[in-house]
Amino acid sequence: MHKSKWVLCVVLISMVMTVVAYAGTMAQIDLKDGSRVFGEILDMTEGKLTVKTAFSEEDPIIIHWSEVVGITSEEPITLELNDGMTLTGIPTTDEAGNFHVQTKLLNRPLPVTMDSVISVNPPEKKAVEYTGNISFGGAINSGNTKQKNASFLGELIARSDRLRLTILGRWVYGEDRSGINARNSFGTIKLDFFITKRFYAYSSAIFEQDTFQDLQLRTSINAGPGYQIIDKGDFASSYFQEMQLNAEIGLGFFNEDFKIAPDQNYVTGRWAIDFLWPVLPTVTLFHQHQAFPSLESSSDYYITSQQGIRLNIWENFVSSLQVNWRYDNTPSPGFKKSDVLYLLTIGYAFVS
């Protein structure tokens, strides 16, 4: 009899200790089927809510966010909404099933729909995130065939909540027994200022040189609006989750300095597309192009693009196969309008 009382006391003490352990962090999650789950909300990403419960302390349970109709808690949580807003406050669900969040800034609780929530307690973002890659390609032949060629490509993207800086550079060189047969370089820099989560204003510049286009220097300075059509996290599928697509239009000034032909310049329009699709962790497709149509003469326009596939071969080391195409509708006399460059490179990709 005494032994039974001691066992009962131990059970009661354990239950009390469990409740005390969760005091202040316990939340009530209401589900569509009418059931309720009590526990500590850890986070919600990719449509899955992670909850640490008293009966499953070691392994948190996973609840599909689409099944959640309400949350009530005495402790604040952070909600990230699909319009770019972030709310931190105490969640409540009234008897009618309406979900609200009481923040410190407002006297009245804010109504929130479950469909508008894309994450709960999201991980803290870095002030600036860096991504990019550096790649090299080259070959040397000697003996009966004497040939050298080399290429260098680099890209850097720095992104904060409001700003995105993109820098792209390319250098290509080649020679054979007759002498130098390829020497050109290209660079672009662009700064985006996000007015909303999707809409931004940009300013950009390109610089280009090509010995075999009679081109000493091609420059264009531009500005205008842009729109992030697809961004990371827009799709739940792992195949599309990292996809990005943005489009831009704008106005600017276009100038070409030739070595032999007369120089030319004009006021230009600009449109651009930038598409990045990491299909798999080891496979990425990409396409970028810019077009500069003259606003003074319909026959003057210039287009440059690069597209290809990037493969992760080991850790951060990558190999890329890409095709670069350039088209100048009014080239220096005696030179072709179109140039195509095929590049196979190996390099290093980084994320910080």
What was the pLDDT predicted at 16?
47
Q: Are 135 and 152 in contact (CB under 8 A)?
A: yes
d(CA 112, CA 258): 60
What pLDDT, on the 0 to 100 scale, is given for residue 22?
44
Place of tokens 């990558």: 318
Out of 31-40, 195-204, 221-230, pick the least confident: 31-40
Does pLDDT of 17 surpass 60?
no
Higher pLDDT residue, 79 or 256? 256
Residues 6+ apart with CB under 8 A from 315: none
Residue 16 falls inside a structural domain:
no
pLDDT at position 19: 46
Average pLDDT, the chain: 87
Does the residue 45 lie in any domain? yes
Mean per-residue pLDDT, 206-215: 93
DSSP 2: H
Q: How confident is the model at residue 39 (pLDDT cuts 50, 70, 90)?
A: confident
Confidence of residue 125 (pLDDT cuts 50, 70, 90): confident
Q: Which domain holds residue 83?
A: 22-120
Residue 159 forms beta bridges with which residues?
129, 164
pTM of the predicted protein model: 0.71
Higher pLDDT, 6 or 116: 116
Q: Which helix (H) or strand (E) holds 41?
A: strand 36-45
Same domain for 85 and 145, yes or no, is no
54, two tokens: 């008293």
Claim to verify: residue 325 and residue 190 sit in the same structural domain: yes
Query: Are residues 100 and 154 part of one domain?
Result: no
What pLDDT band is residue 21 in, cutting at 50, 70 and 90?
very low
With a cut of 90, say whether residue 5 has pLDDT above it: no
Q: What is the structure's pLDDT at 8?
A: 52
pLDDT at 60: 85
What is the secondary structure of 57-97 as a DSSP string?
Answer: SSS-EEEEGGGEEEEEESS-EEEEETTS-EEEEEEEE-TT-
If asked whether residues 160 and 233 sit together in one domain, one would say yes
Q: Which residue has the higher pLDDT, 8 or 274?
A: 274
| Nearest by Cα to 327 from 307, 309, 300 | 300
CA distance 128 to 317: 23
Q: Are residues 179 and 310 in the same domain?
A: yes
